Structure 1
């Protein structure tokens, strides 16, 4: 299974935020730290805020913080949030044209099972389990 760069960057941001949960992080600061586009990180942060994983505030002293302790944020939830609308394979996407081997394909059920197992494994871990070390 391959995650999108959207999810990869979102996980990096959350891992960093989990290393210092008492402070707020600006997207500009995170973009500079990871060498990524600020605009791209802003979109990711908005997605995380809509899912109530982070809260954001504008202005001086603003930035983004985790909405709850990192040990209460399941990695599976984060992946589902950030990968929303991304299908493992084309035939899983809603509204796609019928597959030419649909009804005869024995791979689809195996892929669904693998995807479910992947997410279940991630649900067994929290953001605290993968938080970056606190900066010195």
Structure 2
């Protein structure tokens, strides 16, 4: 079995995919529907979205018709902002292989390719917003619970009073 070189926590994956559902639908979605669409635990998804709400990326609405909605326009939410809200600030200098601390060689035997890959991945997270994710995907309709929504075209821009940089 092959291992992953760059690991993303399940919580970050849930956050990114759940935020993608919200951006694609352009409306409020409840945790049950999002969890069902993603095939994950509703309880875990809810905990992840509570972190996103504390970070100011989503708004939680209780009661009938409640759920989560984006607090900012998709163009204002980077994948890095989602990552930071859930797992904190990533450490690009963290050792990517277990032998680095005891390496007997002066130069990295992996020729810094792992470090370069990690830095490139972090640059991608920083430079990619929810709206640009869908521009890169197939031109087909983005997934949304119950087949509703018309993608990002239906997403209205948030007012400047509500919007602040999420990066």
Report the Cα distance in structure 2 between the residues aligned to 1:114 and 1:82, rounded to whole angstroms: 22
Q: Given the alignment of the two structures, is residue 47 of structure 1 paired with residue 51 of structure 2, yes or no?
A: yes
Q: Given the alignment of the two structures, is residue 83 of structure 1 paired with residue 48 of structure 2, yes or no?
A: no
User: TM-score, normalising length from structure 2?
Assistant: 0.62
Q: Given the alignment of the two structures, is residue 57 of structure 1 paired with residue 42 of structure 2, yes or no?
A: no
54-63 or 76-85, which deviates more: 76-85
**2:124 aligns with one of 121, 124, 131:** 121
Any unmatched runs of 5+ in structure 2? 1-5, 135-141, 149-167
User: TM-score, normalising length from structure 1?
Assistant: 0.74
**Quick check: 1:74–1:122 contact (8 Å CA) kept in 2?**
yes
Listed one character per residue, the Cα deviations across residues 35-69 of structure 1 (whole Å, up to 9, x for unaligned) are 21111011011011111111101001211000111
Q: Given the alignment of the two structures, is residue 70 of structure 1 paired with residue 67 of structure 2, yes or no?
A: no
**Quick check: 1:3–1:83 contact (8 Å CA) kept in 2?**
no
The structure with the larger Rg is: 2
Residue 2 of structure 1: SS of its match in structure 2? Answer: coil
**Equivalent pairs, count:** 129
Report the Cα distance in structure 1 between the residues aligned to 2:89 and 2:76, rounded to whole angstroms: 24
Instruction: Provide closer, same or farther for how the CA distance between residues 133 and 38 of structure 1 changes in structure 2, counting only shifts above 3 A.
Output: closer
